[in-house]
């Protein structure tokens, strides 16, 4: 594990925000079980409380520990994970209202980015994370822009290159027929 990943993992464990490249766009994240850190994430992004924070996970098994994966959803995960697909499922465990919607759902994604997966595993398998941008502004695609935007709000801004330059596809998998919530690089 690189020094930067160790530093980022420690920052998350200490309740700080981190900014990092993903297989889609730059992300900003924190410990999904730290209410203060989640509040700081909302403040840094100037995000509306109505928009919940997805979880990035390090494996399908971790996803199953957070959400109820029905057979239709499982088929999507087998085809598109790791990758640019976020699924909305029924939460299987109690989670912060920043992460779990009032209707009992949680959004999960397994990114296709080796260093990020190493980081997520180092912090216990899940990271509350969303695109690193100010709400309603374009997604950030470069380290320089991520650093300029969030270096005063995040303990660590990791260098790297995003792969797809487009936010993930979001699919609601709470019913037998999945519903596309946001189009993105994964075409279903």
Summarize pLDDT for 144-163 with one digit per residue, the tens. 999 999 999 999 999 999 98
97-129 per-position pLDDT tens digit: 999 999 999 999 999 999 999 999 999 999 999
Using alpha carbons, select from 31, 42, 34, 11 the residue that is nearest to residue 158: 11
Per-residue CA distances from 171 to 15, 59, 188 (Å):
30, 18, 9
Structure tokens at 108: 């999960």
CATH 3.90.870.10 applies to domain 3-182? yes
Structural domain boundaries in the chain: 3-182
Q: Is 101 exposed, middle or buried (0-12, 13-18, 19+ CB in 10 A)?
A: middle
What's the rounded Cα separation, in Å, for the pair 170 and 184? 8
Using alpha carbons, select from 142, 168, 120, 166 the residue that is nearest to residue 18: 120
DSSP β-ladder status, 169-172 and 85-91: parallel
* Predicted structure pTM score: 0.96
């Amino acid at each position: 594990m690189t020094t930067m990943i160790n530093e980022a993992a420690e920052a998350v464990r200490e309740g700080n925000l981190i900014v990092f490249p993903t297989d889609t766009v730059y992300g900003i994240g924190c410990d999904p079980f730290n209410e203060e850190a989640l509040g700081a994430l909302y403040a840094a992004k100037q995000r509306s409380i109505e928009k919940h924070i997805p979880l990035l996970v390090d494996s399908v098994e971790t996803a199953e520990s957070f959400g109820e994966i029905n057979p239709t959803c499982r088929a999507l995960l087998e085809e598109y994970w790791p990758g640019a697909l976020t699924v909305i499922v029924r939460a299987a465990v109690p989670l912060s209202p920043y992460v779990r919607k009032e209707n009992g759902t949680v959004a999960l994604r397994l990114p296709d980015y080796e260093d990020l997966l190493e980081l997520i595993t180092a912090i216990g398998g899940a990271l509350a994370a969303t695109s690193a941008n100010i709400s309603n502004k374009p997604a950030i695609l470069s380290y320089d822009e991520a650093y300029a935007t969030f270096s005063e709000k995040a303990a660590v801004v990791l260098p790297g290159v995003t792969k797809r330059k487009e936010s993930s596809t979001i699919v609601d998998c709470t019913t037998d027929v999945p519903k596309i919530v946001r189009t993105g690089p994964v075409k279903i």
